[in-house]
Amino acid sequence: MKTFVLAFLAFAATAVAAIIDDDDCVWSYSPLGCQPSALCEFNYNFGDLTLSQSCRVKSSVNYYPQQMHLAYAGTTAGTGMTVSWATYADVTDSSLWVGTSSSSLTLVSTTVKTVSYYSDDSYTMYHHHATVSGLTPHTKYYYKVGSKTQTTYQSDVS
């Protein structure tokens, strides 16, 4: 589980690969199933020779938050942060949850700005940006992002 301390963290690395395809899905015996489980599922096709070959990207992966990034926000150091993430589908109810423990996240009442910086014939990428303020410096915070109403389309707690 990834965490951050506002006093020391300037930015975060990518949480999920930018583009996932069937080659990124692999079979695991611990935990049992296709991994990463949030993005992959078991789907046998005739000709698959291994369990990993039967692991495929879920059709709903376009709604799943990817490329999560953190940045400081606010005039006083450590009192705010902006969380940004991308999806390959337009999630109209994008939201941010924040808390001081992984089990006590609360929905942040903030506007999530959604913009598309890139689009071509094969896909459009949507970038979501949410800023939270009123945080306490030198405090560890946990967060997740995604659809407010569809838990399937929410990130893991980071």
DSSP character string of 106-120: EE---PEEEEEEEE-
Quick check: 68 and 12 in contact, CB under 8 A? yes
- Token duo for residue 115: 């913009």
Q: What CATH number does domain 4-16+64-153 carry, 2.60.40.380, 2.40.30.20, 2.60.120.10, 1.10.3720.10?
A: 2.60.40.380
**Is 6's pLDDT higher than 60?**
no
**Is 11's pLDDT higher than 60?**
no
Within 10 Å of residue 86's Cβ, how many Cβ atoms? 20
pTM, whole model, 2 decimals?
0.71
**Is 93's pLDDT higher than 80?**
yes
Domain layout of the chain by residue ranges: 4-16+64-153, 22-60
Each residue's pLDDT tens digit, 14-48: 333 346 778 889 999 999 999 988 788 999 999 99
pLDDT category at 97 given cuts 50, 70, 90 is very high
Each residue's pLDDT tens digit, 107-153: 999 999 999 988 888 778 999 999 999 999 999 999 999 999 998 88
**Is 91's pLDDT higher than 50?**
yes
Quick check: 128 and 86 in contact, CB under 8 A? yes
SS3 121: coil
Residue 19's pLDDT is 62
* CA dist., res. 105 & res. 108, Å (int): 9
Within 10 Å of residue 4's Cβ, how many Cβ atoms? 17
Tracing tokens 């899905």 back to the chain, one arrives at: 25
Residue 136's pLDDT is 94
